[in-house]
Structure formats: structure tokens, C-alpha cells
Amino acid sequence: MIALGAGALGGLALHLATPTLGPELTALLLTPIDLIADIFLRLLRMLVAPLVLFSIMSGMVGIGDPRRLSRLGLRTFAYYMGTSLVAIVTGMLLVNLIRPGIGADLALPEATAPASSVGALDILRRLVPENIFDALVRLDMLQIIFFALLAGFAITTLPDRHREVLSRGAESLFELMTRLAHVVLGVLPVAVFALLFRIVAHGGVSRLGGLGWYFMTVLTALLIHGLLTLPLIARLLAGVSPRRWAAAVGQALITAFSTSSSSATLPVTLETVEKKGGVSNEVSSFVLPLGATINMDGTALYECIATIFIAQYYASSSGYELTVSRQLMVVFTALLASIGAAGIPSAGLVMMTVILQALDLPLEGALLVAAVDRPLDMVRTAINVWSDTIGAAVIGRYEGSPPLPDEA
Ligand code: ASP
């Protein structure tokens, strides 16, 4: 927030001083700012391929374990995928209705990709890499995801000796990438400062107005999912009053909102769902840690809106074609990106680059929406955790441990 304000103020000062300083001196002053913004983009790009590869592989290794793929596992997985998909559809509907990116004045660099339309069959064909190393070098996200899913599943079918080594290897490499992402995100305030400075210095404050509609679209979609869809699921599938359930797990929601991290919130989530929500330890200790890692409704919805917003901007400014098959690709990759996102602040922002890459759009878009990411991150993390707790309530009910037993 401070970086946001300081960047905007600094940029405005330079913008107003440009007539006096002249274009050459202004460009000189902007050089370090450009450098910082570019280095941050390169760091993001550096993380993308290995992060996706290892997060999906380690996820598959965890879920694919035959013992965990019991009834409990399948139910949990179905709930998580189902709610994330509903969240994405909500986001997709709103972003197509409000169309915040059409005609927005964002000053992003031109899309270099050919503006050709991609057919649905083409996507299928191109899903399969001919050479996985080549896919990694080209950052072909769909091919990397395909390979990771396949390899992750294959690991679970290996003899114990190999399976254990590879599972632990995949998990450790995922930990390493998460740590690196954490380090890179540590400089996010500086990158936000540089970016805001650059945008405002070039075009004055009116440029930021373009983000206003985007912000409102994400917020509205998050509120619809959190206040309408999920409460409905709580009532229908878990059989609890959403109001009472929210009161029971309120502490977890507040913690999620203030830390922007599902993982950091996990201890509070476990405590409140068990102690105040009355769901058995057996259910909550399986459902909630898994949820904190793979179930991110708010993140999925946000990924969808943010990338379509940027694609809309390019569609209206440079002839980029936002075809139905590309939108379907967003649905699919947003789901995977939300599964792959670590439960740490701004993880969704890093994973967004995966979708932009898959859409052949420049990564600068991610840096632009980073300017208003923090408040949205707070809300989407609260929604992520809210969905996890309702998941625990639903699964608890079907596994003989109904939520809020005292009040039933
Ligand atoms: N901060 C979110 C979480 O921990 C992830 C995200 O950036 O969307 O749930």
C-alpha cells in the first residue's frame, strides 16, 4: 500500500516536471525504475516452469496415493474441484458481462504473439509435448502441465523403493520452488513502486483508472462466491446455517484476511473447525491441509478475471483474438493454477503468469494488476479458507461427523 502510494506520487511528480526537465532527463531518471520492473518480470519468468512442474507432480503424488484415494479422498477432491469450477464460472460470467479490459487505457507493451485463433482440436494436439525439455525451454504451460500430471501419476504406480524417493524428491523440489517464490515476492513492494512510478510518469493518474473496473469486477465476483454460492452449499450439502458456521470459523477467516496466506492460517482453521465447528479430527486433519494447498476458489476466480481482463485489453487495442477456445483454456489453466498456487501471499499473482504464457500474452500484465493485488489477495484468501471450512463441514456430514452437532 505504501509502495503503491509512493510510486504513484513519485511518478506524478515526474510527470508534472517533465515539461521543465525535458524528455531526455526524464528518460534518464526512469532508467533505474525500468530496470527494477524488468528484473522482477525476469524473476517471475524464472520461477514459472519449475514451480508448475513440481507443484503438480507433488500434488499428484499426494493425492494419487492409493490409500488416500479412498472414499474420503474422492469426496474431498470432488468438492474441491467442484467449488473451484463454480468460482471460475462466476468469474468468467462477470468479466464477460462487465468487460473491464475493453478500451482500458493500460499502456502495456504490444502482444508479440500472432493474433491467430486456436481451434479446440489444436489445443488437444498441442497438449502433448514431443520433447519435454523443449516445452520447458519454451515455457509451454499446457505441455508442462500434461507431463507433470502424467509423471506424477506414474510415480504412484512405481515399486515402493522408487516411489518413495521420487515422491520425496518432488515434494522437496516443490518446497524449494515455494521458498524461491517467497523470496521473489519479498521484493514485490519495490516492483510495485517501480511499476506505478513508470505508469504514472508516462500517462498521469488517469492510467490507473483502467484498473478500477477490473478491481470492482474481481471484488464483486469474490463476494458473490463467498456470500451466495458457498453459503448455499453450506446449507444444502453440509446442512448447517451459513451464519452459524461463519460465526464458528470466524477467527480463521479474519486470520486469512489479515495474513493473505491459507498456509499460515491452517493452524487456526484446524482449531476452529474442530473445536467450534465440531467436525472430527479424522476428517478435518485430512480435508483442511489438503484444502489449504489445492482448494483456492478465490484464487481460481481471480486468475480467470485477471487474465481475461488483460486479454480483453489486447483484443480491443491490438487485434488479439479472445476466442471461445482460448476462454476454455483459461478455465482449465485457472483451475490448475489455483491447485498449483502455494498458500502464501500473492502466490496467485505468480501463477497468473502461467495462464498469460499459455494465452501468448506478455507477462507485463501480471505486473500491472500487481499494483492492486494486496487488497484483492486479502479477500480471496479469506474466500479460499471459507471454502475449505465448508468443505470440512460437507465431508464431515457424510463421514458421520456432522458440523455444529450441539445446535443440530
Ligand atoms: N494468498 C492466497 C492464499 O494463500 C493465494 C493467492 O495468492 O491467491 O490462499
| Ligand 1 lined by 194 (C-beta under 6 Å) | no
Q: Does residue 251 sit within a domain?
A: yes
Cβ atoms 67, 168 nearer than 8 A? no
Closest approach atom of ligand 1 to CA 384:
9
Between 337 and 227, residue with greater pLDDT: 227
pLDDT at 115: 43
Whether 103 maps to a domain, the answer reads: yes
Asked if residues 360 and 140 have their Cβ atoms less than 8 Å apart, the reply is: no
Can you tell me which atom of ligand 1 is nearest the CA of 298? 8
Q: Please give the distance, rounded to the nearest whole angstrom, from the Cα atom of residue 109 to the centre of ligand 1.
A: 27
User: Per the domain annotation, does 403 fall within a domain?
Assistant: no
Placement of cell 499502456 in the chain: 107
Q: Give me the percent of the chain exceeding a pLDDT of 70.
A: 92
Identify which has the larger pLDDT, 307 or 43: 307
pLDDT at residue 114 tops 50: no
Q: How confident is the model at residue 116 (pLDDT cuts 50, 70, 90)?
A: very low
- Distance from the alpha carbon of residue 44 to the mean position of ligand 1, in angstroms: 16
Band (pLDDT 50/70/90 cuts) for residue 203 is: low
What average pLDDT does range 69-92 have in this prediction?
Answer: 89
In a domain, 349, yes or no: yes
Residue 329 belongs to a domain: yes
Reported as a pLDDT band with limits 50, 70 and 90, residue 291 is confident
Q: State the residue range of the domain holding 170.
A: 2-398
Average of pLDDT values for 175-202?
80
Cα 327 to middle of ligand 1, angstroms: 23
Name the most confidently modeled range: 182-196, 199-213, 249-263, 375-389: 375-389
Cα 131 to its chain centre, rounded Å, is 27
342 pLDDT more than 50? yes
Write down the pLDDT at residue 117: 46
What phi and psi values does residue 218 have, to the nearest 5 degrees?
A: -65, -45
Average pLDDT over residues 259-266: 86
Q: How many Å lie between the centroid of ligand 1 and the Cα of residue 344?
A: 5
The Cα–Cα gap between 104 and 365 comes to 12
Nearest atom in ligand 1 to the alpha carbon of residue 302 is: 8
- Mean pLDDT over all residues of the chain? 85
Using 50, 70 and 90 to split pLDDT, how confident is the model at 1? low
Residue nearest to atom 1 of ligand 1 (CA): 345
Residue 237 sits in a domain of what CATH number? 1.10.3860
CA of 380 to the centre of ligand 1 (A): 7
Q: Is the CB of 346 under 6 A from ligand 1?
A: yes
Given the CA of residue 260, which atom of ligand 1 is nearest to it?
1
Residue 158 has pLDDT above 50, yes or no: yes
Cell of 399: 463421514
Asked if residue 407 is part of any domain, the answer here is no
231 CB less than 6 Å from ligand 1? no
pLDDT for res 121? 64
Q: In this model, does residue 86 exceed pLDDT 90?
A: yes
**Which residues, at least 6 apart from 124, have a Cβ–Cβ distance to it below 8 Å?**
none
Please tell me the distance between residue 329's alpha carbon and the centre of ligand 1 in angstroms.
Answer: 21
Between 305 and 180, residue with greater pLDDT: 305
Task: Tell me whether residue 269 is in a domain.
Answer: yes
CA distances from 274 to 152, 324, 397 (A): 32, 43, 13
Buried b (16+ CB within 10 A) or exposed e, 29-54: bbeebeebbeebbebbeebbbbbbbb
In a domain? residue 278: yes
Is the C-beta atom of 225 inside 6 A of ligand 1?
Answer: no
Q: What is the pLDDT of residue 80?
A: 93
The residue written with cell numbers 464431515 in the block is 396
User: Which comes out higher in pLDDT, residue 304 or 59?
Assistant: 304
Cα(11)–Cα(6) distance, integer angstroms: 8
What is the maximal distance between C-alpha atoms in the chain? 74
**What is the tally of structural domains in the chain?**
1
C-alpha 341 – ligand 1 centre gap (Å) = 7
Asked if 309 contacts 101 with a C-beta cutoff of 8 angstroms, the reply is yes
pLDDT-derived band of residue 177, with 50, 70 and 90 as boundaries?
A: confident
33-78: pLDDT as tens digits: 888 878 877 887 788 788 778 877 887 787 666 565 567 778 888 9
> Which tens digits make up the pLDDT trace of 129-138?
999 999 888 8
